[in-house]
């Protein structure tokens, strides 16, 4: 179903992506974090590499500090977060991530909710997911439940992760202007 140009871009985006995985939760630990563990398992089974893993409470300053450290790490190409995306007063991951984004990927959240609606009905409107690019690195924030993680990872993230990173990091094309070939 994909066009030849989409297939070509995906081919260029092949290869392992080096990822940071953050869980935002006031109650989970690395031992009890099923959503974050599932992100790591799915990434690694798809051939990607997890170079950082962390868990922080749903405190904006702590979320932001962890994200900024991961984004400053030259080994990290993409940051995936789970948790803190609901509408409860303490759920603030989306606000923190959105505040960092230089370019938004609105389709990530839109498609996640469409897919979620097919599984849970109108409660999907409570599912916030946000994505974009910061400093040439992909950032995707998804809910923390294992079912939501599996849905986002299998249907959206894993099929496009390499392509997203390639697009976010490729050099700009030369500008064609008047007096130049093609201008």
- The token duo for 159 is 């099929």
| Residue at 177 is within a domain | no
| Residue at 39 is within a domain | yes
Q: How many domains does the chain have?
A: 1
| Residue at 53 is within a domain | yes
Note whether 50 and 40 are within 8 A (CB): yes
Bridge-based pairing of strands 78-82 and 137-142 is parallel
CATH assignment at residue 137: 3.40.980.10
Distance CA 47, CA 32 (A): 24
| Residue at 181 is within a domain | no
Note whether 57 and 30 are within 8 A (CB): no
Range of the structural domain that residue 152 is part of: 4-169
DSSP string, 116-179: HHHHHGGGGGG---EEEEETTEEEEEE--SHHHHHHHIIIIIHHHHHHHHHHHHSPPPPPP-TT
Say how far residue 72 (Cα) sits from the centre of its chain: 16
Per-residue pLDDT of the chain (183 residues; tens, 9 = 90+): 666 666 665 566 678 999 999 999 999 999 999 999 999 999 999 999 999 999 999 999 999 999 999 999 999 999 999 999 999 999 999 999 999 999 999 999 999 999 999 999 999 999 999 999 999 999 999 999 999 999 999 999 999 999 999 999 988 888 776 665 655
Biggest CA pair distance of the chain? 63
| Residue at 175 is within a domain | no
| Residue at 162 is within a domain | yes
Nearest CA to 70 out of 24, 113, 111 is that of: 24
| Residue at 93 is within a domain | yes
| Residue at 18 is within a domain | yes
């Amino acid at each position: 179903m994909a066009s030849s140009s989409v297939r070509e871009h995906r081919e260029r985006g092949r290869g392992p992506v080096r990822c940071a995985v953050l869980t935002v939760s006031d109650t989970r630990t690395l031992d009890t974090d099923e959503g974050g563990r599932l992100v790591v398992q799915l990434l690694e089974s798809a051939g990607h590499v997890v170079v950082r893993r962390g868990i922080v409470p749903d405190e904006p300053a702590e979320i932001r500090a962890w994200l900024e450290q991961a984004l400053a790490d030259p080994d990290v190409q993409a940051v995936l977060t789970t948790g803190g995306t609901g509408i409860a007063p303490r759920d603030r991951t989306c606000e923190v991530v959105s505040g960092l984004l230089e370019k938004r990927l609105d389709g990530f959240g839109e498609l996640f909710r469409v897919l979620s609606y097919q599984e849970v009905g109108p409660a999907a409107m409570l599912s916030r997911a946000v994505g974009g690019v910061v400093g040439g690195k992909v950032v995707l924030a998804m809910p923390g439940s294992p079912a939501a993680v599996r849905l986002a990872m299998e249907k959206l993230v894993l099929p496009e992760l390499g392509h997203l990173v390639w697009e976010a990091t490729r050099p700009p094309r030369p500008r064609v202007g008047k007096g130049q070939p093609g201008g």
